[in-house]
Amino acid sequence: MRLRSFLLALLLGGAGLAQAQGYPGKPIHIVVPFAPGGAVDVLARTIGQRLSEQVGQAVIVDNKPGANRNIAPEFVAKSAPDGYTVLIAANGLATNPTFFPNLPFSVARDFAPVAYIGYAPLILVAPASFSATSLGEVIRRAKAEPGKLSYASAGSGTSGHLAAEMLKSVAGIDVLHVPYKGGAPAIVDMLGGRISFMMLDPLQSLPQIKADRLRAIMVGSPKRLPLIPDVPTAAEAGLPGYEATVWWGFLLPSKTAKDIVVRLNEESNRAMADPGVRRKLEDMGTIVAGGTPQQFGDFIRAETDKWAAVIRNANIKSE
C-alpha cells in the first residue's frame, strides 16, 4: 500500500514537472476585474505585451467587470490550474471578503500569489480654492467644525472611501461622506467647490493637479511620489502610521504547479524591470515593486487584516 502511494505521488510529481517544463505552450489569459481603458486594464496590457515577447506566446487580456469586482476572481479560482489563466488583482481582493462573507471563492484557499506589480498612493486633494493648504490645517478645521467638511468617493466601499475613513479614525475627525456613482461626477462637484476633499489615485488626480484646479495636500504612501515631489507623505505631514494606496498583482489558481508559479513570477519581474514598461508604469504614478510569491502573499494578508479593521470600526457597508 505504501509502495503504491509512493509510486502515485512520484507519478503525479513527474507529471507536474513535465507540465512546468513545457510552460507556456499556448496563449496566456490575464483576467481583469475592470472594464477596458482603466488603470488596471492598461497595466495588464502593458505588462502582458512584454510577457508575450519574453515567452514567445500570445498574452490575451480578458475583461470581466461586475459584481463588485468579484466575477473575475471567481472565474480564475474555478479555472484549470495550468498557468494559462492569470488574475490581475487589486484592492478589492483584500477588502471584498469583509464586505461579502459568502463569496463563492476564498482568497486564502483558492489562489496562489505570483507577483506583486506595485502600488500608487492615494492622494488627498482639495479644490484650489479650499482654504486649508496642509494636512494639519485640514485636521484643525475639521476638529473646529465637526461634520461641516465633506469628502467624496466613487461609492461606498471603494478605495477612496476606505482611505478617507481611515484618515478620520487616525486623525480623530468628523467629516461627512458623500458617495457618488463613480469618480468623474465626484471630481466635478469637488472642482465646483461643493466637496471639501477626496482621496484619489494619481491617474485621476494628476491632470487636475498639474492644471492647478486641484491642490495635492499629502500622499498616502511611505515615500513621496516622484511625479509630485513637493507633496509630503502623511507621516511628514504629521500623521505617522497612515498609509493608503491602490495596488496590483498577479495570482493563479491555488493548485497550479509550483514550478509554473515560479516561472511566471520570474517572467513578471523581468517584464516589470524592462525600461519601457517601467517608464510607462511610473508615468501612471505606479511605484513598481516586484518580489517573490511569498512576499506578495504576505502583503495580501496584511492588507486584508488592515482594511477589515477599518471597515468594521467604521461600520461600512458596500453598495
Query: What are the pLDDT digits (tens) for 281-293?
Result: 999 999 999 999 9
Using one digit for the tens of pLDDT, what is the confidence trace for 299-315?
999 999 999 999 999 99
pLDDT at 4: 52
- The answer to whether 128 and 160 are in contact (CB under 8 A) is no
In a domain, residue 309? The reply is yes
Which residues have CB under 8 Å from 282's CB, separation 6+?
226, 227, 288
Using one digit for the tens of pLDDT, what is the confidence trace for 91-110?
999 999 999 999 999 999 99
In a domain, residue 149? The reply is yes
Residues 96 and 114 in one domain: yes
pLDDT at 204: 92
In a domain, residue 49? The reply is yes
Phi and psi at residue 188, to the nearest 5°: -60, -45
> Taking Cα atoms as reference points, which of 270, 122, 136, 149 lies closest to residue 206?
122
Residues 115 and 129 in one domain: no
In a domain, residue 197? The reply is yes
- Calculate the CA dihedral of residues 149, 152, 158, 162 and round it to 10 degrees: -10
Count of H helices and E strands in the chain? 12, 11
Q: How many domains does the chain have?
A: 2
What DSSP state is assigned to residue 212? T
- The answer to whether 296 and 264 are in contact (CB under 8 A) is no
**Would you tell me how many other CB atoms lie within 10 Å of the CB of residue 290?**
18
Print the domain residue range for 264: 26-119+246-313
Q: What is the mean pLDDT of residues 197-224?
A: 96
Residues 32 and 176 in one domain: no
Q: What is the mean pLDDT of residues 209-231?
A: 97
Q: What is the mean pLDDT of residues 259-280?
A: 98
Q: Residue for cell digits 507540465?
A: 19
Residues 252 and 195 in one domain: no
> Taking Cα atoms as reference points, which of 87, 86, 89, 105 lies closest to residue 97?
105
In a domain, residue 181? The reply is yes
User: Binning pLDDT at 50, 70 and 90, where does residue 317 land?
Assistant: confident
In a domain, residue 182? The reply is yes
pLDDT at 208: 96
Residues 212 and 128 in one domain: yes
User: Binning pLDDT at 50, 70 and 90, where does residue 3 land?
Assistant: very low
In a domain, residue 258? The reply is yes
Residues 113 and 134 in one domain: no
Residue type, 232: P
Distance from C-alpha of 64 to C-alpha of 34, rounded to nearest angstrom? 6
CATH of the domain at 107: 3.40.190.150
Residues 37 and 97 in one domain: yes
In a domain, residue 224? The reply is no
**Would you tell me how many other CB atoms lie within 10 Å of the CB of residue 90?**
24
